[in-house]
Structure 1
Amino acid sequence: MNGTQSGDYVICSNCHKVLRKDKKIIISQPSRGPSAYIPEKEFGQTNDVVTLVNRLVEEYSTSGRLDNITQVMSLHPQYLESFLRTQFYMLRMDGPLPYHYRHYIAIMAAARHQCVYLINMHVDEFLNTGGSSEWLNGLEYVPQRLKNLNEINKLLAHRPWLITKDHIQKLVKTGENNWSLAELVHAVVLLAHYHALASFVFGSGINPERESEPLNGLHLVTKNKFCICDLANDNSIENIGLMSNITESTDNESEIEVLMERMKKLQEEREEEEASQEEMATRFEKEKKESLLVVSGAFDDDVVSMSNASRYIEDPGFGYKDFARRGEEHLPTFRAHDYSWEDHGFSLVNRLYSDIGHLLDDKFRMVYNLTYNTMATHEDVDTTMLRRALFNYVHCMFGIRYDDYDYGEVNQLLERSLKVYIKTVTCYPERATKRMYDGYWRQFKHSEKVHVNMLLMEARMQAELLYALRAITRHLT
C-alpha cells in the first residue's frame, strides 16, 4: 500500500474493493440481512416455513445456528432440505475421508474462487473436528497427499474438460501418498460441491455473518472492476466493458410478456416440426461459439488481493477459458448421450461412495423440477422450457451437449444480460456484482432469482462431476 496507513482506505460494502477516502467515494452502508442483493424484508416468511427451516437447521447443523446461505435458500424449503441432507452426509456421516480432511478440502475448493465466506466457515469446522492449526498457514504445512489434490482442484474449478484418466492414475498409484478410489470420489464430490456453492454465495450476494478479521487493517479485495462505487465516482458506464450490453430493448413492463410469448411460440414450433439431429448439432455449435462473445466485463487484474485464500491453492492465476476458443483446435464435445449422469455417473459414484449418488440425484432432480407454476405476477405458467434452457446453457459453456435439446431455444429465452450473469456466476463467481443481479429479469421476484442461482449451482456441480467421473471410468476400463 506504499506506506499509506490503512485508515486512509475504506472497503466498498458491495464489491469489497479497497478505495481511497480522499477520492470522495460515496460508500453505501453495508446491507443488512443474509444477502447484499435481496432486501431483508424478503425473508419475513410464514410461521410454517420458519418452523420447517428451524427444524432442518437443528437436524443438519451441529452449530444450531441459521447461517446466511440457509436463510437465502429457505425461500425454497423443499430444495433446502435436499441440499442440507446431502451436505450433512458429505461432511458428517460415515465416509472414506477423515472429518478434518473433508473441511480442509472444502477450504481448498472455496479458495479457487477467493470465497472467504466459505473459507472462514470451514476453518472453524476444520479446527472443531481436530484439524491442526498449523495446516491453516498454507499448503506447505499439509500432508503431501492433500497437496496432490491441487491439480484436480484447479481443473475441476475452471476447466474440467482437461481432466483425463492420467490425472486419476497419478492420484491412485501405489505409494504412501496415494488415494483409494473411494477416497478420491469423496474428495471430488466435495470439491465440486464447494466450487458450485461459491457460485451461489457470490451470485446471491451472501453477507458474512461476522466481520472478517483484518490483516494490517484490511482483509478482502475482489477483482470486480465495476460496482456502484464507480457510479458514485461519476465514472461513465461506457468505460465498464459489459455495461453497454446489459440494457435490453424491452422495458420492464413488457419483459415478462415477451418471454412468455417466446415460450409459447417455441412450444408451438416444437409441436409442429422437430429439428433434425444435424440441425440440432449445428445449433449447439453456434450457441457454444456465441458464448465466447458473452463477456463478463473488464477486470482490473492489477488489484492486489489481500485475501488469505491464496495460501490454500497453487497457480492462483489459472482460471476459466472458454471451451470453444476461436483460432484454436478445440476439444471434442462431451456428448451426454455417451456419458450421462443418469446412465453412468450416478451408478459409479454410488458404488464408490455409498448412498451419495442417491442424495445428489435427489438434489439435481429437485432443483430441475422445482416450480410454483408462476413467473413474476403471472400464474399457471409452465416454466419447464425456461428451467431446461438455464441448466443446458451452463453445460454448453462447459462443452456438454444433449442430443435431444434444441439449443436455438437458449437464444430465444435467455436475454443477453442474463447470459452475462450466468457466465459470470458459473465461471468467475468472484466477479459477480449487484448490478449484474439487478440487470436481468427486473420484473421477477427475488425468490425466482434465487431459484436461478440454485439451478446454476447444480448444473455446474453436475458438469464437474461428469468430467471427473468419466475420467475415473476410463481409468477403470
Structure 2
Amino acid sequence: MEPHNHGGAEFLSSSPNWSSMASPKWGFLSSAAAASLRSPWGDAGLGTGGDNDGEGEYGDEARRGWGDGTIEREGSFNGAPRLKAEEFERRWVPPAVTSLLQALGGPAAPSRTEALEQLRQLLLRTTREHARQATQPHLATFTILANESPFGEIRKDFTQFLSFLDQELGLKPPASQNRISYFVSNIDITPLEPEDPHTRRLFCNIFMQTGKLTRLVRILGWHSTYLDRYFQTMSLVMRASGPLPLHMRNYIAIVAASQYRCPYLVAQQEQEFLNNGGEATWLKGIDHVPKKISHLLEINAILAHEPWKITRDHIAVVVKGTDAWSIGELVHGLVIMATFRSLAGIVFGCGIAPEADLALPDVDPTTTHDHGAGAGFFAASAAATTGGDYARSPRSRRPTTGVAVNPMHETVKILQALKEASPSPEPEPPLHTKRIVFENAGSEDPLGSDDDDDDDNDDDEGLADVGGGGGGSGGGGGGSGSGIRATRAGKLSRYIGPYRRTHADFDVHARDYSVFRVQDYSWKEHGYALVSRFYEDAAPLLDDQFDHIYYMTYHTISSHTDVDTAPFRESIWYYVHRIHGLLHEDYDYRNVNTYMNRAIKHFVKKVACFPDRIIRNDFENIGVDLRPEEKCHVALLAAEARKQAELLYGLHVVMQYMT
C-alpha cells in the first residue's frame, strides 16, 4: 500500500483506529504540560477536538465567547476583550490545549487548523502576561510538532503558531539544536518524510500513536524492519495490558536506565511516569518508593553489571513476604530492565541527542574534549537541571585506549576472511583448546588486560566534577572531592542509592560462579517458554526481534556489495554473549578474533557493558570502514545480544526458584 498524500494526518489510506485514539496520552508532553492537562475539566472539548466535536460542556460557549458576563471590558490586549486571568487559566486553557492535541489524533486536518485558531483567539483575549504563563508549559510540545512531525502540514501549522507566540507574546521556543545525533550529520539520517513507503508509513503510525518521532526512532529509521519490531515490542511491554501497571513499568525503566547512567531514557520515562498517574514523590528517588519497588533494586543492579551473580535467593526476596511480586510481575519487570539497558547501548552507541521537551540542554561534543554522547551533554544537563549527575571518568576522555587500526586495511582483511569462509565447519579442536579459544575470545587482545575498560571500578575516579569548574565543559578538576559529592547527589544517583555497582569482566576461572552453558538453558527452548507462560504476548515479539536482528543483512560492507556478512554479524553476537559468560557449544569461537579486530571489540563491549563511556572517537574509529547506518547495525546487534544475555540469567534463576 502506497501513501497517497504527504500533506497531513489524513494521508494514510489504511489509517489507525481513530475512535480508540480520540484521547491519546501524548507521552511527549512535558511534566508541567501533563499536569495542566489533568485538570478538573478533563477532556472537555473546545472546538472540534475529541469525541464531542466541540459539543462538550463548554464547546458552544467557547465558540460564542463568554456568555455569562465575565468579559472584562476595562481593557483589551491587541484589540480583543480581556478575559479574567483567574478564569482564563483555570477554566479555558487546559481544555483548549487538550482539544488541540486531540485534533492531532484524528484524520481531519481542518480540526487541527480550527483548534489552533481558537487557541490563538483565546490567548488574545487575556492579558499578555497570563497568556504567556498559560502557554509556557506547552512550548516544547509545540516546538517538537513544528520541527519533528512526519506530516508537512503539521510542521507548517505549528511553525506559524510558534511565530504567533513569538510576535504576540514574546515567547521563544526552547533552545535546542536540531541535531539528531552527535556522531552523524543530519543529512545522513532518515528524513522525516522518507521516500521508502514502508519507513514512511511506520514514521506516521508511530507519530499518530505517540505524538512524536524521537531521535531514537529517527536513527532506527535506517533499519525500518527492525524499527517496526522494536516499536511493536515497546508498545506491548510499556503501554498494552500486562502484569504490571503502567506507572510501575515506567519506574522500573527509570531505575534500569539509571544503572547505565542514561539521562535521555530516564527523562523520557519520568514524563511517561507522570502522564500515567505516577506519584511525583517517587521521582525524588528510591527512598520515596514503596517497599515493593525497593525489593527489586538489588536484582536490577546485579543484572546491569554482573548478571552471572544473580541467584534464586535474590528471587526469593522479591516473591515472598509482604509486598511480594507475583512471578508474572517479576517476569514483566525483567523484560523491562533488559529492554531499557539495551536501549541505553543504542542511545549512547549512536550518539543520540535529546529532544526539546526533555529539558536536557544540548552541548556540542566538539567543545567538550570529544565526549561524544557522554559527559559533555549529560554533565551539562545535570549541572543545569539537578546540580549534579554522572559524568565520564577523566580517564575516559582520552582517545579510545590506544586502539589504532587502519580501517581500510582491516576491511580488506575481513572481506577476504568472509570470502574464504567455508560453508562446512572446520574440524572441532580438542576440548582443552576449545576452552582456551573461548577464554581468548572475550579479550581485547592484543590490548592486553582490559584495565582501561574497568576504570569505573574506582568510585572516586569514575566520577567527574559536573559543577561550573569541570565536567560539563571538560575543563577543570574532574574527580575532585567536591565534584564527587555533587555527582553522588545528582539526579541519577537518587535512583541508584546504595545499589551502585560497576562493570566487572566475567572471569572464566572464578570460583563463585561458572560459565553459563546455553545448551542447558537457551532462549528458544527455555526462556521463551517461561515468558510465554507468565506474559504470553511478549514472548513471540521478543523472539521475533532477536531473530530479526540476528539475521538482518543488506549484503554490504561499506561500498562492497553481495557480501555474505553472516560470520561477521555472528561474531558480534557471540562475542557479547562470551563477555557475559554464555557458552554456545556449537559456535567456533575462533571466528570472533577472525572477524573482530580490537577496535570493533572495544566499541561493542562498551555498547554492551558500559555504554555511558562511549565517545565519538569510538564510533568514528570502529576499526572497519562502515557507513553510519552500518555502525548503528553493529550497535543493534550488540544491544540485542546483551538483552538476551540478561534475560537468560534472570529467567534462569526464576525457573530455579520455581523448581
Instruction: Determine if the TM-score, normalized by the shorter chain, exceeds 0.5.
Output: yes
Whether the 8 Å CA contact 2:521–2:652 is kept in 1: the answer is yes
**Alpha-carbon distance change, 242 to 373 in structure 1, aligned in 2, over 3 angstroms:** closer
Amino acid in the other structure paired with 2:504: K
Match of 2:336 among 169, 190, 195: 190
Whether the 8 Å CA contact 2:399–2:617 is kept in 1: the answer is no
Match of 1:443 among 610, 613, 625: 625
Partners of 1:47 and 1:258 lie apart in 2 by 35
Partners of 2:411 and 2:177 lie apart in 1 by 28
Residue 201 in structure 1 maps to residue 347 in structure 2: yes
Whether the 8 Å CA contact 1:335–1:400 is kept in 2: the answer is yes
What SS class does the counterpart of residue 296 from structure 1 fall into?
helix
What SS class does the counterpart of residue 243 from structure 1 fall into?
coil
**Alpha-carbon distance change, 314 to 220 in structure 1, aligned in 2, over 3 angstroms:** closer
Deviation readout 1:25-84 (Å, 9 max, x if unpaired): xxxxx974221111111124542255133234136x43x200011111110000000001
Match of 2:449 in 1: 293
Residue 33 in structure 1 maps to residue 191 in structure 2: no
* 1:267-278 equivalent positions in 2, closer than 5 A: 267=422, 271=425, 273-276=427-430
Paired residue total: 430
**Alpha-carbon distance change, 396 to 216 in structure 1, aligned in 2, over 3 angstroms:** closer
Amino acid in the other structure paired with 1:282: I
Q: Return the offset for 1:288.
A: 3.6
Match of 1:225 among 394, 398, 403: 394
Q: Return the offset for 1:252.
A: 3.8
Match of 2:559 in 1: 377
What SS class does the counterpart of residue 443 from structure 1 fall into?
coil
Amino acid in the other structure paired with 1:347: A
Amino acid in the other structure paired with 1:431: R
What SS class does the counterpart of residue 379 from structure 1 fall into?
coil
Whether the 8 Å CA contact 1:275–1:406 is kept in 2: the answer is no
Match of 1:312 in 2: 495
Match of 1:256 in 2: 411
Partners of 1:282 and 1:393 lie apart in 2 by 14
Partners of 1:302 and 1:201 lie apart in 2 by 20
Partners of 1:40 and 1:224 lie apart in 2 by 29
Q: Which moved more, 1:200-209 or 1:288-297?
A: 288-297
Whether the 8 Å CA contact 1:172–1:181 is kept in 2: the answer is yes
Partners of 1:465 and 1:444 lie apart in 2 by 30
**Alpha-carbon distance change, 215 to 278 in structure 1, aligned in 2, over 3 angstroms:** closer
Match of 1:105 in 2: 252
Partners of 1:281 and 1:31 lie apart in 2 by 50
Deviation readout 1:403-437 (Å, 9 max, x if unpaired): 01111111111111111111122111111100111
Match of 2:469 in 1: none
Q: Return the offset for 1:465.
A: 0.4
Whether the 8 Å CA contact 1:35–1:204 is kept in 2: the answer is yes
**Alpha-carbon distance change, 166 to 216 in structure 1, aligned in 2, over 3 angstroms:** closer
Q: Return the offset for 1:184.
A: 0.6
Deviation readout 1:214-269 (Å, 9 max, x if unpaired): 66645555124367xx6xxxxxxxxx48532x112xx343332111112233437x
Whether the 8 Å CA contact 1:106–1:191 is kept in 2: the answer is yes
Whether the 8 Å CA contact 1:241–1:298 is kept in 2: the answer is no
**Alpha-carbon distance change, 298 to 135 in structure 1, aligned in 2, over 3 angstroms:** closer
Partners of 2:307 and 2:278 lie apart in 1 by 29
**Alpha-carbon distance change, 272 to 186 in structure 1, aligned in 2, over 3 angstroms:** closer
Residue 407 in structure 1 maps to residue 585 in structure 2: no
Match of 2:634 among 422, 428, 452: 452
What SS class does the counterpart of residue 321 from structure 1 fall into?
coil
Match of 2:468 in 1: none
* 1:359-374 equivalent positions in 2, closer than 5 A: 359-374=541-556
Match of 2:224 in 1: 77
What SS class does the counterpart of residue 196 from structure 2 fall into?
helix
Match of 2:511 in 1: 329
Amino acid in the other structure paired with 1:334: F
Match of 1:48 in 2: 196
Residue 212 in structure 1 maps to residue 394 in structure 2: no
Match of 1:58 in 2: 207
Residue 358 in structure 1 maps to residue 507 in structure 2: no
Whether the 8 Å CA contact 1:106–1:122 is kept in 2: the answer is yes
Amino acid in the other structure paired with 1:296: D
Q: Which moved more, 1:48-57 or 1:64-73?
A: 48-57
Partners of 2:495 and 2:554 lie apart in 1 by 41
Deviation readout 1:334-385 (Å, 9 max, x if unpaired): 0101000011100111111111110100000010010011111111111111
Whether the 8 Å CA contact 2:190–2:219 is kept in 1: the answer is no
* 1:95-244 equivalent positions in 2, closer than 5 A: 95-173=242-320, 175-210=321-356, 211-212=359-360, 217=384, 220-225=389-394, 240=398, 242-244=400-402
- The structure having more radius of gyration, on CA atoms, is 2
Whether the 8 Å CA contact 2:598–2:623 is kept in 1: the answer is no
Match of 2:148 in 1: none
**Alpha-carbon distance change, 221 to 158 in structure 1, aligned in 2, over 3 angstroms:** closer
Partners of 2:190 and 2:537 lie apart in 1 by 35
Match of 1:425 in 2: 607
Whether the 8 Å CA contact 1:281–1:403 is kept in 2: the answer is no
Amino acid in the other structure paired with 2:283: L
Partners of 2:564 and 2:624 lie apart in 1 by 20
Alpha carbon RMSD of aligned pairs, Å? 2.4
Q: Return the offset for 1:325.
A: 7.0
Partners of 1:290 and 1:436 lie apart in 2 by 14
Q: Structure 2 stretches of 5 or more lacking a match? A: 1-175, 362-380, 465-483
What is the TM-score when the length of structure 1 is the normalising length?
0.84
Match of 2:527 among 345, 349, 357: 345
Amino acid in the other structure paired with 2:330: L
Q: Which moved more, 1:355-364 or 1:415-424?
A: 415-424
Q: Return the offset for 1:439.
A: 1.3
| Higher relative contact order, chain-length normalized (CA < 8 Å, sep 6+) | 1
Identical counterparts, % of pairs: 34
Match of 2:111 in 1: none
Q: Which moved more, 1:345-354 or 1:272-281?
A: 272-281
